[in-house]
Amino acid sequence: MAGGDEIRPGEIAVDLPPETSAGLYFIGRIHTPWTRRAECPRRGAPDGPICTLEVDPRWARALEGIGNHPRLQILYWMHEARRDLVLQSPRRDGSTRGTFSLRSPVRPNPIASSVVDLVNVDGLLLQVRGLDCLDGTPLLDVKPEACPLA
């Protein structure tokens, strides 16, 4: 249980499996102004602060052409989130809902996804607006925003 989170009234936690099912490669780190979870916005905004994706040098060639995409989908690992709650009380008002019906970072696999505006590319550094995560968050993937169907 990361961060010393306590269970709120109405919440239920389960025992996690003894092993994980898959391996992931962190491709870099995200740098934001937020160092505590309480500071993070609930959702990133296009007019939010500039954040930096620092991509590991081994993935440099994977960034070729990224500057041609004004909006990107960023996948990241919410490394300080609890992973064991099946019922959550997000508003501290006594209401309780299932984890999969919420956008809470508390989930079995704390993978987050944000669509951001690309501000600048400088080698392995991508400056973006629209993130909502802690400084030092592991970066999982960078993709061009999905094009709407015609």
Q: In sequence order, what are the beta bridge partners of 113?
A: 75
Question: Per residue in 108-149, pLDDT tens?
Answer: 999 999 999 999 999 999 999 999 999 999 999 999 997 665
pLDDT value for 2: 47
Q: How far apart are CA 107 and CA 92, in angstroms?
A: 18
Question: Per residue in 26-46, pLDDT tens?
Answer: 999 999 999 998 888 888 888
Q: CATH fold of 25-80+110-144, please?
A: Elongation Factor Tu (Ef-tu); domain 3 (2.40.30)
**CA-based nearest residue to 115, from 147, 91, 144:** 144
